[in-house]
Amino acid sequence: MAGAGLAMPTIFTGASWAQTDNYRNKPTGDTVTFGFNVPLSGPYADEGADELRAYELAVEHLNGQGDGGMLNTFSSKTLDGTGILGKKVAFVSGDTQTKADAARATAKSMIEKDGAVVITGGSSSAEAVAVQALCQEAGIIFMAGLTHANDTTGKDKKANGFRHFFNCYMSGAALAPVLAKLYGNDRRVYHLTADYNWGWSMQSSIENATKAYGWESVQNVLTPLASTDFSSYIAPVLNSGADVLVLNHYGGNMVNSLTNAVQFGLRDKQVNGKNFEIVVPLYSELMAQGAGENVRGIVGSSNWFWQLQDPGTAAFTKSFGTKYGFPPSQAAHTCYVQALLYADAANRAGTFNPCAIVEALEGFEFDGMGNGPTLYRAADHQCFKDVLVMKGKENPANKYDLLELVEVTPVAQVMYEPDNPAFAGGELGTCNPGA
C-alpha cells in the first residue's frame, strides 16, 4: 500500500475532484485504511482506550457488522454497511503516549508505512494541533478527536483538519447564562488555572463570558501542570473574598483540585451572604468517576452525554453498550462520529482525494448524530452544535450515572464569528492532496 504513488490510475466518476485522482495513499486494493492515533499510555490513556473502542465499533458498522449504530439515524444516507466506495474499511492503531512528538511519529508511520488515507484521534489539544499540522504537510485528512482548546480551529487551524468536539469559547458561552441563573448576578470569582495553553484559554473564556452577568474575577492563580496536591492553592481562596471558585483543570488535575476544594469544606461556606460555589468548565464522565461523590452538585459543560433522548444517542449507546458492557464517554462519541463523517464525505465526494473530502465536509449540515442539527463551518472547520450544561448528580444510581443534564444551550448562543479575537491569528491555507 505504501507504493500507492506508483499504482495504476483508477477512474472515478461523479465529483469534480475525481478527475484529478493523484493524491497520497490512494487505496488500490479492496480495502481503505484508517489510522486511529490514540493515547494508550500517559495521563489521558483512559480517554484513548475509550476512543479506540468507539473506532472499532465505527469500523464494524461501516463494514456492515453489528447493528449499524448511528448509520440508521444519520441524516446523510450514503453509508449502507458496504464499506466506503465499495472498499471495506481496515484500520491501524498506534499509541500516542499523550505526547505531541510520539503522536506525530505514530501518525507518520501510519501514513508512510500503512498507507492510511485519514488520521483520526488524540485526546489532548497539543496532540491534535501537532498531528493536524503533520497531516496538512503530508496531504492526509485529519479528523480531530478530543481537543477542547480554541487553537485547534483558531490560531492553528489547517485546511486538512476538522474538529467535531466543542471548544473553550463555547463552554464559556454556554455556561455563563446558566451560572447566572443558578447562582445569581454579581458574583466574585477566584480562578485556579492549569498553567498551559488550554488552561489559559479556558480561564479567559469563562471570564469574558461571565462578565456580562456582573461576575468579577478576583484573582487568577496558575497551577503547575504536574501538581497533585492543591491544598496550598485552596486555602487562600477562603480569605480572598471570592464566592465562586472556577477550576480550569482537566483530567487528573481536576480530580485532585476538586477533591481538595470539597474536602476543605468550601461548598458549605457562606461568603458575601451567598453560598460558596465551585464550577468545573469542562466535564467528562471519566473525570467524574475519578472524583466520585465530590462532583455532586458541581456544574460544568459537556459535548455529549449518553443519557440524551434523541435516536442517534440511543442507537450509539445501545451498540456500544452491547459490545463493551458499559456506556460510551463523550470522547468515544466524538471519535465515532468523526469516523462516520469522514466515510460519508468520501462517499459523497466519490473519491478519497483529500481536497474532495474537504469540499464535501465544508459547510456540511447534518443531524442524527446525537447533537441535534450540526454545521461543519467552512471558515474554520469547526462543528457548531448545541452545548450541554451538566451537573453532578446528588444520588447517582451507579458509577456511570454520575451526571445529569441541567440545560441544553442552543447553538445560536455559542456561535461566534471566525475572526473572534480568541480564534484570530491563523489561516486555513489550501487543502493539500499530498501529490
Region binding other proteins by CB under 8 A among candidate stretches 93-101, 213-221, 361-369, 389-397: 93-101
User: Do 79 and 92 meet the contact criterion of CB atoms below 8 Å apart?
Assistant: no
User: Do 34 and 59 meet the contact criterion of CB atoms below 8 Å apart?
Assistant: yes
387 DSSP β-pair partners: 409
Region binding other proteins by CB under 8 A among candidate stretches 131-139, 249-257, 373-381, 390-398: 131-139
**Does the protein bind other proteins through residue 203 (CB under 8 A)?**
no
User: Do 34 and 14 meet the contact criterion of CB atoms below 8 Å apart?
Assistant: no
298: left (phi over 0), alpha (psi -120 to 50) or beta: beta
Region binding other proteins by CB under 8 A among candidate stretches 161-169, 222-230, 282-290, 336-344: 222-230
Candidates 76, 125, 203, 205; binder of other proteins (CB under 8 A) is 125
**Does the protein bind other proteins through residue 109 (CB under 8 A)?**
yes
User: Do 293 and 393 meet the contact criterion of CB atoms below 8 Å apart?
Assistant: no
The DSSP string of 214-243 is T-EEEEEEEE-TT----HHHHHHHHTTT-S
Cell of 19: 478527475
- Residues 32-61, mask of contacts with other proteins (x by CB under 8 A): --------xx---x---x--x---x-----
The secondary structure element, H or E, covering residue 344 is helix 330-349
The candidate with the shortest Cα–Cα distance to 49, out of 37, 38, 59, is 38
**Does the protein bind other proteins through residue 81 (CB under 8 A)?**
no
Return the ∠ at Cα 122 (arms to 330 and 261), rounded to 5°: 60
Candidates 149, 180, 246, 360; binder of other proteins (CB under 8 A) is 149
Region binding other proteins by CB under 8 A among candidate stretches 190-198, 264-272, 328-336, 366-374: 190-198
Least distance CB 99 / other proteins (angstroms):
4
Candidates 47, 50, 51, 95; binder of other proteins (CB under 8 A) is 95
Region binding other proteins by CB under 8 A among candidate stretches 91-99, 260-268, 311-319, 320-328: 91-99
**Does the protein bind other proteins through residue 120 (CB under 8 A)?**
no
Candidates 32, 54, 129, 346; binder of other proteins (CB under 8 A) is 129
Q: Please give the residue ranges that form the binding site for other proteins (CB under 8 A).
A: 1-3, 5-6, 40-41, 45, 49, 52, 56, 91-95, 99-102, 104-106, 108-109, 112-113, 124-126, 129-130, 133-134, 136-137, 149, 151, 156, 195-198, 222, 224-225, 426-427, 429-430, 432
